[in-house]
Amino acid sequence: MVTSGLIQFDDWADIYASRVETMRTSAVRDLFAAASRSDIISLSGGMPDIARLPLDKVSEVAANAVKKEGVSGLQYGDTTGREQTKAVICRLMEDSDIHIKPEDLIVTTGAQQALDLLGKTFIDVGDVVITEGPTYLGALQAFSAYQPDVHTIEFDDEGMRMDLLEAELKKLGKRTVKFIYTIPTFQNPGGVTMSLERRKRLLELAHEYEVLVIEDDPYGRLRFEGEPEPCLRAMDDDVIYLGTVSKVFAPGLRTGWIIAPHPILQKIKMVKQGTDLCGSALNQVIVEHYFNDTPWKETLANINVKYWERRDAMLAALEEFFPPEARWTHPCGGFFVWVTLPEYVDTVQMLSVALENGVIFVPGDGCYPAGSGKGRNAMRIAFCYEEPEKLREAIRRLSMVIEERMALYRAFINAGAL
């Protein structure tokens, strides 16, 4: 290895697997380092407000985890998860009208691992998968390791556009798409929710073209306005459903789950054995006790009120400060607003200037497959993490950065340089 000052040359560059070449680091992960600086207002990560959890109760639950369960939480466990954890998850799913038994699911190390396991189970190099565009960048990252050809379908205020999906499926043909990955409720990064009509249409199209549907649902319980739409899995048992405790309890527990038809679960189980043998039993014990022994619904309802105030503060600030050319979504829950700026504003370039001004966000291009060239004039801004005054200040500062870019563009136009 040769090092020269700040540059470290990679002597191993020619031996990495080709899949690594097509992967890119998550902009959000890279930005988390900056997010922890006290002088930065972070609109970047989808981080739940864990400081509002009943921390005394959580400490008690964690401290008692070994005492109550004996050594079982410290031992290797079943690859598919602890029976007691699965029972808790089945109960949680009843609230979403999804009626399952413990054998219908596998506990995973967060929904993120579920995405990776699904990629590993279904995607061969070059396989077509369909996602919303933009979509969750962590899903793109997980799938990219298996080198799919990702086709994206735009959304509007009613979620993924079914006219575009139908046209795409027609073009691609029956049974050629491995799966459609969707976040129908409070989409990440869009914040939008798929209407009931579109949910029905999506399932019809999936049957007609024989395509699997993966429903990722981390935000469904974070609703502060409007009536819930049914989960896709509640409408169709063939849908693969991903859940997680990350946003309703704590992401540090890294506990999620996959519900899928049994033949698919068998394959995922096999794949998971090669990945981690089993997830953390101790974390699962903590999850069980949190959902069994604390008033978690009440806690979540109180935290949701905070998210609601923050969403209102963000939308009001956007209205107050952003230029009339900007457009943004109006989420009724979840964590994110998606902002679209004039074509010529490049949010990747904007990020470093915003950082100098003490604000970070996720540039839109990270929410599209690498090299697609889409989303460069868009950004994801999260309202979940900061207090209302700080959100207002962040939006004010961002608006100044945007205004500067727009003024520069106008000057180029006036000078005849563009």
Ligand X SMILES: Cc1ncc(COP(=O)(O)O)c(C=O)c1O
Cβ 211 to ligand X shortest distance, Å? 20
Cβ 114 to ligand X shortest distance, Å? 8
333 part of the interface to ligand X, by CB under 6 A = no
Q: Which is nearer to ligand X, 77 or 184 (CB)?
A: 184
- Could you say which of 46, 220, 331, 364 contacts ligand X (CB under 6 A)? 46
111 part of the interface to ligand X, by CB under 6 A = yes
Cβ 334 to ligand X shortest distance, Å? 9
Q: What is the spatial distance between Cα 285 and Cα 74, in angstroms, rounded to a whole number?
A: 10
Span 65-104, contacts to ligand X by CB under 6 A? none
Q: Which is nearer to ligand X, 93 or 345 (CB)?
A: 93
**Candidate ranges 151-159, 222-230, 244-252, 346-354; the one touching ligand X (CB under 6 A):** 244-252
Residue 256 bridge partners (DSSP): 108, 244
Cβ 97 to ligand X shortest distance, Å? 20
Cβ 135 to ligand X shortest distance, Å? 8
141 part of the interface to ligand X, by CB under 6 A = no
Residue 158 near residue 198, CB atoms below 8 Å: yes
383 part of the interface to ligand X, by CB under 6 A = no
138 part of the interface to ligand X, by CB under 6 A = yes
Angle of helix 196-208 relative to helix 162-172, nearest 10 degrees? 10
Using CB under 6 A as the binding criterion, the count of chain residues that bind ligand X stands at 14
140 part of the interface to ligand X, by CB under 6 A = no
Cβ 3 to ligand X shortest distance, Å? 35
- Could you say which of 73, 81, 110, 363 contacts ligand X (CB under 6 A)? 110
Distance set, CA 215 to CA 182, 184, 259, 287 (Å): 5, 7, 10, 22
**Candidate ranges 59-67, 77-85, 108-116, 299-307; the one touching ligand X (CB under 6 A):** 108-116
- Could you say which of 98, 169, 183, 379 contacts ligand X (CB under 6 A)? 183
Q: Build a one-symbol-per-residue string for 212-231: x at contacts with ligand X by CB under 6 A, - elsewhere.
A: ----x-x-------------
191 part of the interface to ligand X, by CB under 6 A = no
Write down the residue that tokens 């540090």 correspond to.
252
- Could you say which of 136, 249, 291, 296 contacts ligand X (CB under 6 A)? 136
Q: What is the spatial distance between Cα 199 and Cα 159, in angstroms, rounded to a whole number?
A: 9
Q: What is the spatial distance between Cα 317 and Cα 14, in angstroms, rounded to a whole number?
A: 49
Q: What is the spatial distance between Cα 80 and Cα 279, in angstroms, rounded to a whole number?
A: 8
363 part of the interface to ligand X, by CB under 6 A = no
Residue 46 near residue 267, CB atoms below 8 Å: no
End-to-end CA distance of the chain: 46
Residue nearest to ligand X (CB): 110
Cβ 216 to ligand X shortest distance, Å? 5
C-beta contacts of 31-40 below 8 A and 24+ residues apart: 31/360, 31/362, 34/355, 34/360, 35/360, 39/358, 40/355, 40/358, 40/359, 40/360
**Candidate ranges 107-115, 356-364, 387-395, 404-412; the one touching ligand X (CB under 6 A):** 107-115
- Could you say which of 256, 331, 333, 375 contacts ligand X (CB under 6 A)? 256
Q: Which of 390-400 are b and which e, b meaning 16 or more Cβ less than 10 Å from the residue's Cβ?
A: bbbbbbebbbe
112 part of the interface to ligand X, by CB under 6 A = yes
**Candidate ranges 36-44, 105-113, 154-162, 284-292; the one touching ligand X (CB under 6 A):** 105-113
- What is the binding site for ligand X (CB under 6 A)? 46, 110-112, 136, 138, 183, 188, 216, 218, 244, 246, 251, 256
